[in-house]
Amino acid sequence: MISPAVTQFLQALDPASREKILAIKNPFQVQALLDEMPYVGEERNRSPLQVMQDRQCHCLDGGLLGALALNLIGFPPRIIDLVPQPNTDDDHVLAIYQVDGFYGAVAKSNFSGLRFREPVYRTLRELAMSYFEVFFNIEGEKTLRAYTRPLNLMAFDRFNWSTHEQGVSVVTRRLYSLKPIPLINAAQAARLSKMDERSYHTNMMGVNLEGLFKAPAH
């Protein structure tokens, strides 16, 4: 079922952008759409329409566009949040989909390893854990600690999340109110090693340094 918000989004697009997004036929092409846009590290959360107009995004507004595009090819528009250790890193939004009951994801990220996942994961926990080893901060610390249950964006259609920032604000408030589900316990977290130098530099390739997490000032 196509969300009414998605129909509204299509009607608001310019013809070239509409043709581009309607040409998408599978989740990998959704990821390609997100990949071609520059990553911007800013507080503003654009609507999918504004992302298409500005041709730039970060993980949250890119995740919304990803969910919308997945809906266009037959998947429910659902997102989850990957939650880090507080004050060590940014969270990360995934647009999820299922094929034959197995989970996959598309995502916009500053890090190459935090993007597409094939639909081969039996549970959301498995999917979330596939990001664990490459979810790290500038210090090389592995920071992923939890994930959330899926949020179906169709529940927010009346707020026009696909075309207006005010609607996106409603979605984000709800997303960040969801109770995180732990992936590891405190003892496991205390034993974590840092990224080795080779893995660190490999996964930092192409990163926009201006978009990296900045610890809050004390």
Task: Give CA–CA dist 46/165, Å, rounded.
Answer: 6
What is the residue whose two structure tokens read 């528009």? Answer: 77
What band does 206 get if pLDDT is binned at 50, 70 and 90?
confident
Buried b (16+ CB within 10 A) or exposed e, 24-50: beebeebbebbeebebbeeeebbbbbb
Contact of 41 with 208, CB cutoff 8 Å: yes
Rounded to a whole number of angstroms, the CA Rg of the chain reads 17
What band does 185 get if pLDDT is binned at 50, 70 and 90?
very high
What is the residue whose two structure tokens read 């529940």? Answer: 155
Give me the mean pLDDT over the 138-165 stretch. Answer: 97
What band does 218 get if pLDDT is binned at 50, 70 and 90?
very low
Give me the mean pLDDT over the 33-38 stretch. Answer: 96
End-to-end CA distance of the chain: 48
Task: Give CA–CA dist 108/88, Å, rounded.
Answer: 20
* pLDDT at residue 59 greater than cutoff 70: yes
Give me the mean pLDDT over the 198-202 stretch. Answer: 91
206: left (phi over 0), alpha (psi -120 to 50) or beta: left
- pLDDT, tens digit, 9 for 90 and up, residues 67-88: 999 999 999 999 999 999 999 9
Give the distance from CA 209 to its chain's centroid.
19
